[in-house]
Amino acid sequence: MTPVPLPSPPLRDLALSRQHLDRAGAHRTSPSHLADLWDSPDTRVLRLHAGRAPVVTTPEGPRLVLRSPAEVPVPGPEDLQLYLGVDRDGDREVHHVAVVSADAEPEATDGAAGGEEWRGLREVGQELPALDAGLFTEALAMGNWHAVTRFSPRTGAPLTATTSGWVKTEPDGREHFPRTDAAVIMAIVSPDDRLLLGHQPIWPANRYSVLAGFVEPGECFEDTVRREAFEEAGITIGAGLDDVRYLGSQPWPFPASLMVGFAARAVTTDIRVDGDEIALARWFTREELAEELRTGGVLPPPGVSIARRLIEAWYGGPLPVDDRPWG
């Protein structure tokens, strides 16, 4: 029997994965780097409050509001100042920094014109241009790391942000670096070319997506795909080299994940959900999925996510449904 074909890589133009910024890590080590940039009118500042950034709507779509240091409020003592990198356009270099606050976004736009609004990355990430999406993703991920990395895991001593916001340092000089949690996410295809979608208990009714799970210590991505498919849905994935195929990856700073996307070929189809991570799971033909989308029986993941792109890679094109925010 000829194995069912799997979607082929790569997934192109994944939202949040189109990084056009040189992070210029060598600049971070200068103790005066952030102060020097704050003195430059050519610097551009991205402000984040409680995970949201100021956005303005233009004829081309949403854009981040990036301002010179003189145009933004002075950072407070609890605010994180972070060097993001440099955007090069010919001979012109524009350095970008972020000011990240845990406080709610200001009620007023402090004089901004053009309908500035504070929006989350899930809301606007898909529509932002590559530079804006990269800045927002980087600042949000780093802000999330700083928020939970406040004390030394060895001594309990408070940590200090150094290296332009990219290191947390103990009083004795020991350094702690940002972490990213690797997770696999996979479009599992049956021997008769159906797609497996699951529903988590915490999701709204009818919300379905592909399966996913975190990589465990000492485990490769392909083994994680096989383990998670079996643990969550009782599905066995083929053992062949091409039964698990890499398609692409996406940073997902909610709070600190890198989603590594795969297509996987199942050799069993009897579903046994674990009842914890996955409450319901179903196999769908393309015709069944289209009908469920039309009637609202299935709500797909949002367009900003790699999950949506994995489903569309199997489906053969965009899903016949308007995009909705995750919620």
Which pLDDT tens digit goes with each residue over 81-90?
999 999 987 7
- The confidence score (pLDDT) of residue 325 equals 63
3-state helix, strand, coil in the chain (%, to 5): 20, 30, 50
Has residue 30 got a pLDDT over 50? yes
pLDDT band at 1 (very low <50, low <70, confident <90, very high): low
**Other beta carbons less than 10 A from residue 236's beta carbon:** 14
- The confidence score (pLDDT) of residue 326 equals 59
Has residue 13 got a pLDDT over 70? yes
- Does residue 10 have a cis bond before it (omega within 30 degrees)? yes
Tell me the average pLDDT across 17-45: 93
| Token pair belonging to 130 | 């590559």
**Residue 304: C-alpha distances to residues 3, 48, 213 (Å):** 31, 19, 19
E strand intervals along the chain: 44-49, 52-58, 61-64, 80-89, 92-101, 117-120, 160-162, 167-169, 175-176, 181-189, 195-199, 211-214, 244-252, 257-265, 280-284
- The confidence score (pLDDT) of residue 309 equals 97
Q: Are 258 and 183 in contact (CB under 8 A)?
A: yes
Q: For the chain, give the mean pLDDT.
A: 94
| Residue 311 DSSP SS3 | helix
Residue positions counted in the chain: 327
- The confidence score (pLDDT) of residue 276 equals 93
pLDDT band at 111 (very low <50, low <70, confident <90, very high): very low
Q: Are 299 and 324 in contact (CB under 8 A)?
A: yes
Q: Rounded distance, CA 212 to CA 311, Å?
A: 13
Q: Rounded distance, CA 303 to CA 295, Å?
A: 19
| Residue 307 DSSP SS3 | helix
> Bridge-partner residues for 61, per DSSP?
58
Q: Which one, of 293, 254, 22, 288, lies nearest residue 120 by Cα?
A: 254
Q: Is the dihedral of CA 28, 30, 31, 36 positive or negative?
A: negative
| Token pair belonging to 61 | 């779509």
Burial 240-273 (b: 16+ CB within 10 A, else e): eeebbbbbbbbbbbbebbbbbbbbbbbebeebeb
C-alpha radius of gyration, the chain, whole number? 22
Has residue 302 got a pLDDT over 50? yes
Chain CA centroid to CA 31, Å: 30
Q: Rounded distance, CA 88 to CA 106, Å?
A: 31
Q: Rounded distance, CA 161 to CA 199, Å?
A: 39
Has residue 327 got a pLDDT over 60? no
Has residue 108 got a pLDDT over 70? no
- The confidence score (pLDDT) of residue 123 equals 93
Q: Which one, of 126, 9, 10, lies nearest residue 61 by Cα?
A: 126
Q: Rounded distance, CA 279 to CA 124, Å?
A: 29
Strands 80-89 and 167-169: unpaired
